[in-house]
Amino acid sequence: MKTAISSATEVASAAPAPSTAGAAVRFRDPQIEMAHGAGGKASRRLVEGLFVPLFGGAAGALRGPLADAAHLEVDGARLAFTADSFVVRPLRFPGGSIGEVAVHGTVNDLAVSAARPLALLVTFVLEEGLPSAVLEAEVRALALAAERAGVEIVGGDTKVVERGKADGMYITTAGIGRIDPRARCAARSVQPGDQVLLSGPIGDHGITILLARGDIDLEAELRSDTRSVYPLVERLLDAAAPGVRWMRDPTRGGVATALNELARDCGLGIALFEEEIPVRDAVRGACELLGLDPLHIANEGQFLAVVAPELADAALAAIRAAPGGEAAVLVGEVRAEPARTVLGVASYGGMRVVDMLSGDPLPRIC
Ligand code: MG
């Protein structure tokens, strides 16, 4: 879950909000813990219990299911607007760096809102003493990633904090995109029988960061999957726009959290064919070692799409035909029962409830 407010949260629509003075704050946690930034249950508690009541309430700008970007209508143009902060440690890792992730994270939130990314603002919080060469490397990474993603960096801001703060740098990006006029994505339009597609292997980013920190004694050839998913989304919309009901990039909290949010928001169940989900050996191995579920591990270059059954084959073929989409796969189906639940279903008939992420097993992975 992502909002335009926290490190990653999203809002559904924007309209003039009534006064929210006295709105019911339900957030009762005595202090902020790492889990409040992990994208799972605690993040949801914070956003829904504190931000939503005070920033708009039931009738205001944050009404409806939380999404990856706010939707605005300006003189007839439908726009998506979002922001994301990046605090990943270390700054560089196999397959990417904070600068690249800062572009892709925001671009992907626009993409899964069916919006063509147009422009980004970039804000740096820099630590006193940061070598200029380190900053230059990230500015170059941002510029290159933006160019490749077809999005312009049009402004930003810089702040510096004392030595020992900010771990070198934090980056915030805000992005705006134009929603594809063919798209009608919303959790409420998801129906039983709809098919769940996944663009490729899961867990690469989270486990790459874990290994880059040297937290576990495991050698593996693994790279972050950080990339823009917009080219894949565009092909999907070309092939099946009227049937694309919902999309989400499973970043923090992973596929399990994203699908649980969908199940909650649409009031239906999701059968997840776990054996179909591609997981690299290195990711599976690290997860086994640490007692983690690959379904809870963050991705930075994959997306989930729920597609009407009659267009699912065409949708999957379109993603697979796009460069980088070859590993896309059908991973689940929406069902009426059990409502608001994600069930892992095995070919031999076994079943298990797949829950949202709770706690924060891998802090600061993006
Ligand atoms: Mg997202």
Residues 50 and 88 in one domain: no
The verdict on 129 and 57 lying in the same domain is no
pLDDT at position 3: 41
Give tens-digit pLDDT for 75-119.
Answer: 999 999 999 999 999 999 999 999 999 999 999 999 999 999 999
Rounded to whole angstroms, the Cα distance separating 111 from 304 reads 11
What's residue 360's pLDDT? Answer: 86
CATH code for the domain of 98: 3.30.1330.10
Instruction: List Cα–Cα distances, 118 to 82, 98, 111, 156, 318, in angstroms.
Output: 12, 20, 11, 15, 23
Buried b (16+ CB within 10 A) or exposed e, 178-208: ebbeebebbbeebeeebbbbbbbbbbbbbbb
Residue for token pair 């760096």: 97
What string of DSSP letters covers 282-333?
HHHHHHHHHT--GGGS--SS--EEEE-HHHHHHHHHHHHHSTT-TT-EEEEE
CA of 41 to the centre of ligand 1 (A): 15
Residue linked to tokens 């970039």: 122
Token pair belonging to 290: 């640490």
Give the Å distance between the CA of 108 and the centre of ligand 1: 7
- Distance from residue 68's CA to the centre of ligand 1 (Å): 5
CATH for 321: 3.90.650.10
d(CA 174, ligand 1 centre) in Å: 13
What is the DSSP secondary structure assignment for residue 131, as one 8-state letter? -
**Interval between CA 299 and ligand 1 midpoint (Å):** 10
Strand partners, 271: 333, 343
Query: How many Cα atoms occupy the beta-carbon half-sphere of 4 within 13 Å?
Result: 20
Whether residue 132 is contained in a domain is answered as yes
Residue 86: phi and psi, rounded to 5, are: -125, 125
Report the pLDDT value the prediction gives residue 217, as an integer from 0 to 100: 84
- The reply to whether 261 falls in a domain is yes
Tell me the C-alpha distance between 126 and 122, whole Å.
Answer: 13
Cα–ligand 1 centroid distance for 222 (angstroms): 22
Sign of torsion over alpha carbons 152, 156, 161, 166:
negative
**Residues of the chain whose pLDDT is less than 70?**
1-22, 57-64
Find the 110 Cα to ligand 1 centroid distance in Å.
8
Domain with 324, as residue range(s), is 187-353
Q: Which residues pair with 351 in a beta bridge?
A: 345
Ligand 1 center to 128 CA (angstroms): 31
Let me know whether 97 and 83 are in one domain.
yes
40 Cα: distance to centroid of ligand 1 (angstroms): 12
